[in-house]
Chains A and B, each alone.
Chain A
């Protein structure tokens, strides 16, 4: 989230789109009811289904699954053509006036530089025009046809209400009503908050859907404001912590990145990440990358990381490509990956095309599953009748199941959507032989290290030199790990203003990442978590609810990364002169000598407004980007592309380029896509309030509240198919089928899309063949094996099925 859960209460207008907060985030949704009850806020819900959130909405509009960019692109067009934008904000805080490379263009669904054989772009033209001083050229009047604003206007001029309605199936009057409601928040004293979740991420254009939302918010001047922002509702506890700590194949902790295989030079690796300002006077905070990185390597390798060995840079793996989960299972399926550790992950249930996942697991020599529950994955080799129809005699994979603890059986912190690290305490002892994950991993590590020490190997250094100074090496305490993430001084640290004054003695915990050094004198396991466990103790365990502003900026409650900051980009809550756009939303302001207020300023604390430093300090421009250069791989402006399985078999905007041309598709998976001819209905998967992923079907109460697998279809489709509520139905995609009870509902209506009637079939996840709920089919039997072009999140939300009475 740019903002945080409590801050939702400050909004005038709440847009839930690409998510279903009431259903999937019922506790967080309370802040929507607060905004409605106490601030008179309005709630808009846009979704293919009239869902639990819609039941609470002041205005609901339907949309065809996978077409959110068309809808939001239409909103951008509406705001620009009706002049409903915060002009001063857009001018001062975005790249709207920046001039773009004259070679950049967009035609017939493709941006410049497309290379069809690679399914990738040469992004070199997606760049700014730079002046002789090395800085980007800006036309503050925004009259130059090559400035971002005019390119953006031209790009979205195609997204008229007629076009939007034709693609999305949203009736034009309803689309326009939503536009009018949103446009009202362009006033500096009104805010819109956008709440989204997997309904945006799980598409082949997921990253771009979220970007489109950010663009809408920038035009309205709602980023940085209390009650504004683009707010990702994280689902899996602790998924925010997972990304923060860099548990993606290409990430290091704190959103640093692993080097690619050509990046063998340490200084060059740092240079391209420590971005120099693109405009005069900008902070460009990533210039501190070397401090974060060197401190990380000191935390990991201690004395083995020295200036002379580039702080053990050679210990890091260099990637030839991104090893996301789709890539990993593709390699497994090809027989190129033979062993797999599966920790807190149930891929047989959670990843698309179950047949492929199960087939891949069957090719492994060994599979290690670390989980508190007996997952489907750990029993993929067992025959469970129709739910898992495999022949165990033909599967040779050796499976090790290592029982681990649940969150309530251990101390530790979880990071919530608000970026809050909240410490919690063990509530119960784990059952049986279950051990905490650190203990399990430590056991494996110590054994491996012993083998490397004894037997050597091609390159044992990264294993044998890893810092492992835990009190009990076989069972590191969560407290020790937390202190390590926070970081400590390795030598006495002095005040930069007065070198005779020692700020921290060697060995003391750091106060914040501002103290990090690139000379090896500090160690820090995750720079954005620095400040969570200082010399004052465990900051994450604080539970002070004091809220002096009444806006919910409870700085004494837990710890929010970065630097205990509650609202990101909060400098943008003030006008360029440093005065809050809205006096009732005064979270920080310039007091004449420094930035002060109820939140921690996301800014250089003493940079006067006259110095023209931009509020988006992580960007080398200092401003937010409408035109996003080469930072995403599928285009500098979001464009509507159809899901890979589209019910209309074309893209009305550009029939020659139907789906995302830059999305990676493996050959077998391309062949496994179905077409509308055989599978005429748009399908989408989702969660239900009564369950949490594939866990709670193991819990009796949840099983009582939602016992048996079902699918949802509209009354019109039911009538066509001769189905009634309670009937058993079979839902088929080109990859498999499931059978479930039909819920026939008024809440899913057929949509008219490109002259065709499109029905939606809703398929909840949650069921499987382990647990106490009624056994069911794995929903991801149906879903397609293709991911978002940028981050490879699978397209669980949009695919094609057929349905019949079972």
Chain B
């Protein structure tokens, strides 16, 4: 979506100045309060409706995780974990998973296709699929394992944080649908402030380690969690404790920088070659993705 084409902070594989004539715009953030989330999946339904995609009717894999994983047709999922520490109380941890909209986005850095991934001035990281060459490097670049290649068109898809809605002053569809206030949206500063109140409440209920998840390794995120067990993010279905951009991305950047120096024509050619060889590439990536997600 290009509704915010005047407020672009960063653009993949691009060295020219992106448009930002309006200057600074406030940073936005979605806050996911795990202590209020009942796992009702209203946000999943709203995401399907607003973005107008439909996954297939699948099967039950013996859990409440349905659909079982993110997909090009499923930009957010609930991940249910039954957590029962030795001698402790049982907890049913429910985490809404989806793009974290990193301030320092690994996907964007890894992307070789000019303009396929952009970061708006408000912090939203958005995929512009019309520029996507389907290489899947964004998946490798993502510390949260979020983007998915579509089997239909070979492009990468993920949550847009409803950049089209936000551009016209609306909250993302998931926020609109959340019945319990587990999802809230606003400026990042306001969300941090809101989280402080929630953490104080959780502290009073015996969650001494409650914390805001806004990991520094990726420069902070524009989707944040309130975690009752802030010291153990990994118990929430393997939420990374200290996420960072894969070293692979630096290697890639090391290789590409001189190439970039040769000029955009070469990039375009590279893109063209990628595009022509997309078939085998996509198959490899699909296999890799399938291996990776079978364990879910």
The interface of chain A, by Cβ under 8 A from chain B, is 22-23, 26-27, 29-30, 33-34, 36-37, 40, 50, 52-56, 58, 60, 689-690, 700-710, 724-727, 741-747, 772-774
A-B contact pairs, 19 of them (CB 8 A): A22-B180, A30-B180, A30-B181, A36-B201, A37-B36, A37-B181, A52-B39, A55-B91, A60-B90, A689-B41, A690-B41, A690-B66, A700-B57, A704-B56, A705-B44, A707-B59, A708-B58, A726-B61, A746-B82
A16: min CB distance to chain B, Å: 12
- Which residues of chain B from 28 to 82 have a CB within 8 Å of any chain A CB? 35-36, 38-42, 44-45, 48-49, 54-64, 66-67, 82
When the two chains form their complex, are residues B60 and A52 in contact, meaning their CB atoms are under 8 A apart? no
* A747, B90: Cβ atoms closer than 8 Å: yes
Residues in B with CB closer than 8 Å to A746 are 82, 84, 90
CB distance from A33 to the nearest CB of B (A): 5
B198 within 8 A of A: yes
Q: What's the Cα separation between A767 and B24 when bound, in Å?
A: 52
A40 near B201 with CB under 8 A, answer yes
B204 contacts the other chain (Cβ, under 8 Å)? yes
Q: Give the CA-CA distance A701 to B51 in the complex, in Å.
A: 13
User: Complex Cα distance A345/B42, Å?
Assistant: 26
Nearest CB on B from A233, distance (A): 14
Q: Are B60 and A707 in contact (CB under 8 A)?
A: yes
Residue B292 CB within 8 A of the other chain? no
Our pick among A60, A689, A702 for the contact of B38 (Cβ within 8 Å) is: A689
A60–B58 CA distance with the chains assembled, in angstroms: 32
In the complex the two chains form, is B62's CB within 8 Å of A56's CB?
no
Give the contacting residue for A704; candidates B39, B54, B62, B181; CB below 8 A. B54
B205 interfacial contact with A, CB 8 Å:
yes
Q: In the complex the two chains form, is B38's CB within 8 Å of A29's CB? A: yes
B92 & A54 in contact (Cβ 8 Å cutoff): yes
- Residues of chain B whose beta carbon lies under 8 Å from any beta carbon of chain A: 35-36, 38-42, 44-45, 48-49, 54-64, 66-67, 82, 84, 89-94, 179-182, 198, 201, 204-205
- In the complex, what's the smallest C-beta–C-beta distance from A769 to chain B, in angstroms? 15
Most buried by A among B58, B89, B94, B182: B58
Q: How far is the CA of A704 from the CA of B205 in the complex (A)?
A: 36
Across-interface contacts of B39 in A (CB, < 8 A): 52, 55, 689
- Closest chain B CB from A173 CB (angstroms): 13
When distances are taken between beta carbons in the complex, the residues of chain A under 8 Å from B205 are 58
User: A700 to B54, Cβ gap below 8 A?
Assistant: yes
A residues less than 8 Å from B42 (CB atoms): 26
* Cβ contact within 8 Å between A33 and B181: yes
B62 and A743 contact, CB distance less than 8 A: yes
- Nearest A residue to B89 via CB reads A60
Q: Contact between B204 and A724 (Cβ–Cβ < 8 Å)?
A: no
User: A50 to B92, Cβ gap below 8 A?
Assistant: yes
Q: How far is the CB of A195 from chain B (nearest CB, A)?
A: 14
Q: Are the C-beta atoms of B59 and A741 separated by less than 8 Å?
A: yes
A709 contacts which chain B residues (CB < 8 A)?
60
Contact across chains for B92 and A705 when beta carbons are under 8 A apart: no
Q: Which residues of A contact B38 (CB under 8 A)?
A: 22-23, 26, 29, 52-53, 55-56, 689
New contact pairs (13) apart from A37-B198, A726-B61, CB-CB < 8 Å: A26-B42, A50-B90, A53-B38, A60-B89, A689-B39, A705-B66, A706-B60, A706-B66, A707-B60, A708-B58, A726-B60, A743-B64, A773-B57
User: What secondary structure prevails in chain B residues at the interface with A?
Assistant: loop
Within the assembled complex, what's the spacing in Å between the Cα atoms of A26 and B42? 9
With a cutoff of 8 Å between Cβ atoms, the chain B residues found around residue A50 in the complex are 90, 92
Q: Please pick, from A55, A704, A741, the residue contacting B92 in the complex, using a CB distance under 8 A.
A: A55
Smallest beta-carbon distance B195→chain A, Å: 12
Bound Cα distance from A58 to B89, whole angstroms: 11
| A772 near B204: Cβ-Cβ < 8 Å | no
Q: Given the known inter-chain contacts A52-B38, A710-B60, A741-B60, please indicate yes or no for A704 contacting B84, CB distance below 8 A.
A: no
Chain B nearest CB from A783 CB (Å) reads: 21
Inter-chain contact B57/A743, CB cutoff 8 Å = no
Residues of A within 8 A of B63 (CB): 725, 743
In contact, A29 and B180 (Cβ under 8 angstroms): yes
CA distance A746 to B80 in the complex (A): 12
A-B pairs, top 6 by smallest CB distance, nearest first, are A725-B62, A726-B62, A55-B92, A708-B60, A22-B38, A26-B40
Name the B residues within 8 Å of A724 (CB-CB): 62
A60–B48 alpha-carbon span in the complex (Å): 34
Measured CA separation A26–B41 after assembly (Å): 10
Distance of A649 Cα from B82 Cα, bound (Å): 33
* Interface contact B62-A707, CB-CB below 8 Å: no
| Partner of B59 from A60, A690, A708 at Cβ < 8 Å | A708
A710 vs B181: C-alpha distance in the bound complex, in angstroms? 29
A52 to B180, CA, bound (A): 13
Most chain A CB inside 10 Å of its own CB: which residue of B36, B39, B57, B89 = B57
* A47 → chain B closest CB, angstroms: 12
A707 touches B66 (CB 8 A): yes
A29 to B42, CA, bound (A): 13
B91 to A, closest residue via Cβ: A55
Cα distance, A56 to B228, chains bound together (Å): 11
CA distance A58 to B49 in the complex (A): 34
- Inter-chain CA distance A784–B58, complex, in Å, is 31
How far is A742 from B90 in the complex, measured between Cα atoms in Å? Answer: 20
Specify which chain B residues have a CB less than 8 angstroms from the CB of A33 in the assembled complex. Answer: 36, 180-182
Most chain B beta-carbon contacts within 10 A, residue among A40, A50, A55, A727: A55
Chain B hits for A700, CB < 8 A: 54, 57
Judge whether A703 and B57 touch: CB under 8 Å: yes
- Of chain A, the residue at the smallest CB distance from B44 is A705
Whether B48 contacts A704 by the Cβ 8 Å rule is yes
Instruction: Give, as a whole number of angstroms, the nearest-CB distance from A700 to chain B.
Output: 6
Point out the residues of chain A lying under 8 angstroms from B54, CB to CB. 700-701, 704
Max count, chain B CB within 10 A of own CB: residue among A37, A725, A727: A37
A689: contacting residue among B40, B58, B61, CB under 8 A: B40
Q: How far, in angstroms, from A705 to B80 measured CA to CA in the complex?
A: 13
The docked-state distance in angstroms from the alpha carbon of A727 to that of B204 is 42
Query: Does B57 lie within 8 Å of A772, measured CB to CB?
Result: yes
Q: Quick one: given A30-B181, A50-B92, A700-B54, are A727 and B62 in contact (CB under 8 Å)? A: yes
What's the Cα separation between A34 and B179 when bound, in Å? 11
Structural contact, A747 and B92, CB atoms closer than 8 A: yes
Closest chain B CB from A712 CB (angstroms): 9
A704 close to B55 (CB less than 8 A): yes
A420 CA to B268 CA in the complex, in Å? 63
List residues of chain A with CB within 8 A of the CB of B201: 36-37, 40
Given contacts A690-B66, A701-B45, contact A774 B57 (CB under 8 A): yes
Contacts A29-B180, A40-B204: A707 and B61 contacting too (C-beta < 8 A)? Answer: no
Q: Roughly how many angstroms separate A407 CA and B34 CA in the complex, as a whole number? A: 33
Q: Nearest Cβ in chain A — how far from B40, in angstroms?
A: 4
Collect the chain B residues with CB atoms within 8 Å of residue A744's CB.
62
Q: Which residues of A contact B91 (CB under 8 A)?
A: 55
Verify B59–A774 contact, CB threshold 8 A: yes
Interface centre among B40, B54, B56, B205 (most CB of A within 10 A): B40
Q: Which residues of A contact B41 (CB under 8 A)?
A: 689-690, 705
Q: How far is the CA of A725 from the CA of B94 in the complex (A)?
A: 18
Q: Which of A60, A705, A726, A745 contacts B82 (CB 8 A)?
A: A745
- A742 touching B62, Cβ below 8 Å: yes
| Contact A704/B40 with A54-B92, A725-B63 known, Cβ cut-off 8 Å | no
Min Cβ gap A761→B in Å is 15
A370 to B201, CA, bound (A): 50
Query: Which residues of B are found within 8 Å of A30, using beta-carbon distances?
Result: 179-181
Contact B179 A27 (CB under 8 A): yes
- Chain A residues with CB under 8 A of B181: 30, 33-34, 37
Contact B180 A55, beta carbon cutoff 8 Å: no
A586 to chain B, nearest CB (A): 26
Min C-beta distance of B84 to chain A, whole Å: 5
In the bound complex, do residue B58 and residue A707 qualify as a contact, i.e. CB atoms below 8 Å apart?
A: yes
Instruction: Report the bound CA distance from A615 to B153 in whole Å.
Output: 69
Complex formed: what's the CA distance from A724 to B62 in Å?
8
Chain B, residue nearest A690 (CB):
B41
**Measured between alpha carbons, how far is A40 from B204 in the docked complex, in Å?**
9
Which residues of chain B are near A34, meaning CB under 8 Å?
181
